[in-house]
A and B are shown apart, each in its own frame.
Chain A
């Protein structure tokens, strides 16, 4: 398994299925590692301008980070999530997420 390769090899054809495939290589019990990997994948999609794919990926990573007690990851993921929603003009949703988080 080389998850790093999977992350760096992302291109414009990357899909949610491929994210799930990469994450599937980490055991369910490795919750903290899975949360960080999910966040890295979300950030990679964001960096590749794959905004539509990045939003659900980052949202899922925030949930994983919360479940894993990964506070720093959850904080970073939330910031990225609302930035993406802002880019899409989904301001009310971003506002709602932040109200609930803070």
Chain B
């Protein structure tokens, strides 16, 4: 779990290579039993791959995430992954899947007790309503 968290911190710091290394290690450990953590790792890895300019690998990673979680009951993790995938669609410049997702979620749900799905959702929703000319180019920080 901590390797996956650490990787997301490194991604925020734009250290994508280290983020990827930590994710590969974290996913390998989590696949031994902590599948929710592994799934979170795949979601983060897809974002890293997208930021590295490798949309094919990002899509393959999302496919692995879907395989891992397809039998799970509806819950906050799936809500989180749906928001995360919409965010990645926006990064690819694909508005349609993001808009489809945005059409299915309430902007603010009082019953949503855990913060992190709400956070990703609130960050992603505005992007679904603003027209974009194409994929978002990721600029290095600093």
Whether the pair A75, B1 counts as a contact (CB closer than 8 A) is yes
Minimum CB–CB distance for A10 against chain B, Å = 12
Chain B residues with CB under 8 A of A91 = 9, 12-13
Mark out the residues of chain B between 119 and 137 whose CB falls within 8 Å of any chain A CB in the assembled complex: 119
Mark out the residues of chain B between 56 and 93 whose CB falls within 8 Å of any chain A CB in the assembled complex: none
Q: How far is the CA of A86 from the CA of B6 in the complex (A)?
A: 10
CB-CB contacts of B1-24 with A at 8 A, as 1s and 0s? 111011011101100000000000
Minimum CB–CB distance for B46 against chain A, Å = 18
Whether the pair B6, A98 counts as a contact (CB closer than 8 A) is yes
Question: Contacts A46-B115, A47-B113, A49-B115: A86 and B9 contacting too (C-beta < 8 A)?
Answer: yes
Chain B residues with CB under 8 A of A76 = 1
Minimum CB–CB distance for A66 against chain B, Å = 14
Mark out the residues of chain A between 34 and 90 whose CB falls within 8 Å of any chain B CB in the assembled complex: 46-47, 49, 75-76, 78-79, 82-83, 86-87
Q: Is the interface of B mostly helix, strand, loop or mixed?
A: helix
Minimum CB–CB distance for A86 against chain B, Å = 6
Quick one: which of B2, B8, B10, B116 contacts A101, CB cutoff 8 A?
A: B2
- Counting residue pairs across A and B whose Cβ atoms lie within 8 Å, the total is 39
Chain B residues with CB under 8 A of A95 = 6, 9-10, 13
Question: Contacts A86-B12, A91-B9, A95-B13: A47 and B115 contacting too (C-beta < 8 A)?
Answer: yes
In this assembly, does B114 line the interface, its C-beta being within 8 Å of a C-beta of chain A? yes
Minimum CB–CB distance for A73 against chain B, Å = 13
| Chain A residues at the B interface, C-beta cutoff of 8 Å | 46-47, 49, 75-76, 78-79, 82-83, 86-87, 91, 94-95, 98, 101-102
Q: A82-B2, A83-B5, A98-B5 are in contact. List 10 more A-B contacts (CB 8 A).
A: A47-B114, A75-B1, A82-B6, A83-B116, A86-B5, A87-B119, A95-B6, A102-B2, A102-B3, A102-B6
